[in-house]
Chain A
Amino acid sequence: MGHALYQAGLAGAMIVVAGTAFAASSPSDPLNSVMWEALRDQYFAGAPVVFDDAVRVNAPAAAEDTRAVPVSVDATALGKVVEMVAIADLNPFPLVLRYHPGTAAPYIATRIKIQQATAVRGAARTADGVWHVSGVMVDAAGGGCSAPPASYAQKDWADHVGEVQARLWPADSDGVARLRLRIRHPNDTGLVDGIPAYFVETLQVEAQSPGGSAELAKIDSLEPVSEIPSIRWTCVRRRTPRRWCCAAGTTRAARSGRPFRCRRRAPNPR
């Protein structure tokens, strides 16, 4: 009897110690997601993490179409950002994209698939190596990652893969220029029976402007980015690039996936 009590006391003490140690190294998740600790270890491996409202994640409270939920991550309040990620905790593949802003602003907006109601996060790594994390809850009916793409309703969809639409909005009075890209691509997740994974994996944008570096920004894009990805970048610079071009790589494992390119003189004449 006394032995059992002693054991219980010891276990209690250990829990308290472990709890204290954990709290000191990593703050608890404001969104109370069951996946947070596992995802933190997977995507931010050992790096310091803080929850920081300076990173603004914008997404609807309820997803109207789980195959294309608009999400934007705005880390411009942090100043210089090295890398950004977007994560949907309860997706079968939580990582949505990794964004390397390069000389562009730390702001990205796109549409994503979500499989069920989940926390949707944006995180930004500053030059000191700290990940600043924020997020919102999105309620959803579910199934966005395992629904067949609507693209296949069109019989000639394969002839149009890789078509890019884009427009550059020249710098406004604040020096902020915007670039929007829309790519015809089914972005198959591989979760639909008989349809292998086939999605845009890398997307690189280069700007040609006097004195500017060539690479503007790069995205490592993953399964959860919606069919026909639509992505917006923001460039903060005094001068709008004269020309820009983008290149995208697509999954080669299935089908004859090959990189495609697009090129455009700016500003857009429209």
Chain B
Amino acid sequence: MSMPLLRRLALTTAVAAALMVGAATGTARAAGPLTYDLKPTRIAPDTYVFEGSTKHFTRANGGNILNAGFIVTADGVIVIQTGPSRRYGEEMRAAIRKVTEKPIRKVFISNLHPDYWLGSQAFADVPIAALPGTIAGIQEEGSGIADNMYRLVGDWMRGTEVTVPTEPVYGSTVKFGDHRLRLIPLSGHTAADLMILDETTGVLFTGGVVFCDRTPTTPHATIADWLKELDAVEGLDIRLMVPNHGHIRSDKACVAQTRDWLTWLDGTLRHAVDSGLDMAEALELPTPERFEVLDVLREEYRRSVAHLWPKIEQAALPRVN
């Protein structure tokens, strides 16, 4: 009687131990430290990009939907965009450290959207430069933007706080080591869009002005101005284009792609308002097949209806009292 009982106890313990090991491993895999696993790609001399997904912010990608970059100059490292969270900024800085021992000299932020600047906490000890309109926008909307990112991607955001850029910049050409950077202030995608052209390598960081194979986003957009921004890009002499969202290309095909989308979007919504459709109906309008190459097409189309419709309607309806 006593022997079987002992054997049974021993067996139970062994099973329990095995289960615990299994549980511990499983837990480690599921809830272990989140990581963006950032790996820089060298795209030109001294120039690197962390290529992100072309999707929307999700709990799977942690908001890594951008192409942040850095340029290693004799004067130190120039960082372009800091990503969607403190964690991203910290991982980015650690990854840069693996490429060069040089200190971070300056950070540039292209606009107020969340994935451009929420990682700035990791660079709080260096000047963070942005256009005055971007700084004002982050001061005004930054905490709401951060709150929404916590809701969208969750734990990836842990510890992320609003870090407002510290240095206003304007249209100018600045020199860091051998690299001459042309700072190009524009407005259209947002009220303040900073493009950075490295005249030394011919690499253009477009920020949100050009999207490549990824549907453009419009929460702060004025379409007519955005089209003029694209004209400005057409006039630049470049070797490589780095959009903040989408693919890096050596030609300007994605300028035309962005223009095509914006023109179609604006024209379609204006026509819908003019035909007496309501906003809920506009959400269901079909998107032409040629735009299927743009990632997250229907999601961004619907978001754009919400962004653009009220103003178009306001302009289109006549006063009656």
Interface residues of A (CB under 8 A from B): 58-60, 63-65, 68, 70-72, 109, 111, 141, 162-167, 169, 178, 180, 182, 228, 230, 232, 260-264, 268, 270
In the complex formed, the residue of A with least CB distance to B147 is A141
In the complex formed, the residue of A with least CB distance to B275 is A169
Pairwise interchain contact A232-B320, C-beta atoms closer than 8 A: no
Pairwise interchain contact A180-B318, C-beta atoms closer than 8 A: no
Q: Provided the pairs A60-B302, A64-B302, A65-B306 are in contact, do residues A70 and B321 lie with their beta carbons within 8 angstroms?
A: no
Pairwise interchain contact A68-B310, C-beta atoms closer than 8 A: yes
DSSP majority for the A interface? strand
Pairwise interchain contact A72-B280, C-beta atoms closer than 8 A: yes
Within 8 A of A (CB), among B276-321: 276, 278-284, 302-303, 305-307, 309-310, 313-314, 316-321
Residues of chain B contacted by A270 (CB below 8 angstroms): 318
Is B148 an interface residue when CB atoms closer than 8 A count as contact? yes
Q: 5 shortest A-B CB distances, which residue pairs? A: A64-B306, A262-B321, A70-B279, A165-B317, A109-B278
Residues of chain B contacted by A169 (CB below 8 angstroms): 275-276
Is B42 an interface residue when CB atoms closer than 8 A count as contact? no
Q: In angstroms, how far is the closest chain A Cβ from the Cβ of B284?
A: 7
Residue B319 contacts which of A60, A164, A232, A261 (CB distance < 8 angstroms)?
A: A164
Pairwise interchain contact A141-B306, C-beta atoms closer than 8 A: no
* Bound: A163/B320 CA distance, A: 8
Q: In angstroms, how far is the closest chain B Cβ from the Cβ of A108?
A: 9
Residues of chain B contacted by A232 (CB below 8 angstroms): 276, 278
22 contacts between A and B (CB under 8 A): A58-B283, A60-B306, A63-B306, A64-B306, A65-B307, A70-B279, A70-B309, A71-B280, A109-B280, A109-B281, A111-B310, A141-B148, A164-B319, A164-B320, A165-B317, A169-B276, A180-B317, A182-B314, A182-B317, A230-B310, A260-B321, A261-B321
Pairwise interchain contact B306-A165, C-beta atoms closer than 8 A: no
Residues of chain A contacted by B276 (CB below 8 angstroms): 167, 169, 178, 180, 232
Q: In angstroms, how far is the closest chain A Cβ from the Cβ of B277?
A: 9
Q: Provided the pairs A59-B280, A60-B283, A109-B280 are in contact, do residues A70 and B320 lie with their beta carbons within 8 angstroms?
A: no
Is B97 an interface residue when CB atoms closer than 8 A count as contact? no
In the complex formed, the residue of B with least CB distance to A109 is B278
Residue B280 contacts which of A70, A164, A166, A261 (CB distance < 8 angstroms)?
A: A70
Pairwise interchain contact B278-A162, C-beta atoms closer than 8 A: no
Contact mask for chain B residues 43-69; partner A; CB cutoff 8 A; 1 contact, 0 none: 000000000000000000000000000
Additional pairs, 20, CB under 8 Å, beyond known A64-B302, A162-B321, A232-B278 = A60-B283, A60-B302, A70-B282, A70-B305, A71-B280, A109-B278, A109-B280, A164-B319, A165-B314, A165-B318, A165-B320, A166-B317, A166-B318, A230-B279, A230-B313, A232-B276, A262-B320, A262-B321, A264-B320, A268-B318
Q: Provided the pairs A70-B278, A70-B279, A109-B278 are in contact, do residues A58 and B284 lie with their beta carbons within 8 angstroms?
A: yes
Q: In angstroms, how far is the closest chain B Cβ from the Cβ of A95?
A: 19
Residue B151 contacts which of A59, A141, A162, A261 (CB distance < 8 angstroms)?
A: A141
Residues of chain B contacted by A109 (CB below 8 angstroms): 278-281
Residues of chain A contacted by B321 (CB below 8 angstroms): 162-164, 260-263
Q: In angstroms, how far is the closest chain A Cβ from the Cβ of B59?
A: 13
* Bound: A232/B272 CA distance, A: 13
Within 8 A of A (CB), among B132-159: 147-148, 151
* Bound: A175/B74 CA distance, A: 74
Q: In angstroms, how far is the closest chain A Cβ from the Cβ of B219?
A: 8
In the complex formed, the residue of B with least CB distance to A64 is B306
Pairwise interchain contact B317-A263, C-beta atoms closer than 8 A: no
Contact mask for chain B residues 92-129; partner A; CB cutoff 8 A; 1 contact, 0 none: 00000000000000000000000000000000000000
